[in-house]
Structure 1
Amino acid sequence: MITQELKQQILSLSSDEQYEIVRLIQEKTNSWTGITKTPGVVGGDACIRNMRIPVWSLVEYRQMGANDDKILEAYPQLTAADLANAWAYAETFSTEIAQAIAENQEA
């Protein structure tokens, strides 16, 4: 069964390789699975799966030198797919994320 074989191959990839696959699919479909924006929740910023973990905070953590494994250790409720979604979103909406980081550093 080709789907099962593909699933096994994807699961054996590194986090970075899985990220590239998710990013490619999201770009092709213009879909941001796992990213939500809710007015009144974390200032309406893009967050992970209806959690109060904003994408900008993960990006900032990464900018401070944390790799995906360290971030997953710090946020055990997140998955590698959540990070892939966050990185893809942040790459596409880099101005939005940079602005949110700047605003939150001032606060």
Structure 2
Amino acid sequence: MTLKELKQHLLALSPSEKVKAIQLLAQSLGNTWQGIKKTPGVCGGDARITNTRIPIWVLVEACRLGYSDSDLLKSYPTLSAVDIANAWAYAQAYPDEIECAIQRNEAA
């Protein structure tokens, strides 16, 4: 895809989709994710919400089981809506990593 083609697609996005696209692009530049951290020895080294022991894969799996964002915020009172949004952006950017973590932890 050329930049010209990409521009047309980006301009067609809704405002909220544009925000997500900007967030993904900014994070990919530094390969760092605001609010997401990986630390060897913490949560098995899986991506997690910064300053917590809540892995992204746990939130994704909860969502698959029918939990809404509101349910997650109630279940994890230390999380904010921004944390949830960051988790979804990360999960969308790295679906294979998240799926692998889910599989690995289901087998454990």
Structures share fold, TM-score greater than 0.5: yes
Q: Which stretches of structure 1, 4 residues or longer, exceed 3 Å deviation after superposition? A: none
Task: Tell me the TM-score normalised to structure 1 length.
Answer: 0.77
Per the TM alignment, residue 79 of structure 1 is displaced from its structure 2 partner at its CA by: 0.4
Could you tell me which residue of structure 2 aligns to residue 75 of structure 1?
A: 76
Q: Which amino acid aligns with 1:23?
A: K
State the distance in 2 between where 1:73 and 1:21 align: 28
Q: Report which of the two structures shows the higher radius of gyration computed on alpha carbons.
A: 2
Among residues 23, 27, 39, which one is paired with 2:24 in the alignment? 27
Per the TM alignment, residue 49 of structure 1 is displaced from its structure 2 partner at its CA by: 1.1
Could you tell me which residue of structure 1 aligns to residue 38 of structure 2?
A: 37
Relative distance call for 1:21 and 1:67 in structure 2 (3 A) is: farther
Structure 1 gap ranges (5+): 1-16
- Equivalent pairs counted in the alignment come to 90
Could you tell me which residue of structure 1 aligns to residue 47 of structure 2?
A: 46
Q: Secondary structure at the match of 1:26?
A: helix
> What is the aligned-residue RMSD (CA, Å)?
1.6
Structure 2 gap ranges (5+): 1-14
State the distance in 1 between where 2:22 and 2:82 align: 12
Q: Secondary structure at the match of 1:78?
A: coil
Write out per-residue CA displacement over residues 2-50 of structure 1, whole angstroms, 9 at most, x where no aligned residue.
xxxxxxxxxxxxxxx86x4653232121241000000110110000013
**Highest RCO, 1 vs 2 (Cα 8 Å, sep ≥ 6):** 1
| Percent identical residues | 51
Q: Which amino acid aligns with 1:98?
A: E
Relative distance call for 1:21 and 1:73 in structure 2 (3 A) is: farther
Matched-pair contact (CA < 8 Å) for 1:22–1:84: no
